[in-house]
Amino acid sequence: MQTILGANGQIATELARALKRHYTQNLRLVSRQPRKVNGTDALVRADLLDAIQTLDAVRGSEVVYFTAGLPPDSGLWETQFPAMLRNALDASRAAGAKFVYFDNTYMYPQSAQRQTEETIFAPTGRKGRVRASMAEMVLAEMQRGDIPVAIARAPEFYGPGKTQSVTNTLVIAPLKAGRKAKVPVRDDTLRTLIWTPDASRAMAIIGNTEDAYGQTWHLPCWDERLTYQAFVHLAATTFGVAPRFRVLSHWALVAASLVSKPVRELRELLPRYAHDLDFDSSKFRRRFPHFVVTSYEQGLRHIAQAPS
Q: What are the two backbone dihedrals, phi and then psi, of residue 151, each rounded to the nearest 5 degrees?
A: -110, 130
- Count the neighbouring beta carbons within 10 Å of the beta carbon of residue 2: 23
Average pLDDT over residues 184-212: 97
Q: How confident is the model at residue 144 (pLDDT cuts 50, 70, 90)?
A: very high
d(CA 52, CA 37): 25
Q: How does pLDDT run across 13-69, given as a tens digit for each residue?
A: 999 999 999 999 999 999 999 999 999 999 999 999 999 999 999 999 999 999 999
In the chain, the amino acid numbered 55 is L
Predicted pLDDT at 241: 96
Buried b (16+ CB within 10 A) or exposed e, 69-100: beeebbeebeebbeebbbbbbebbbebebbbb
d(CA 298, CA 222): 11
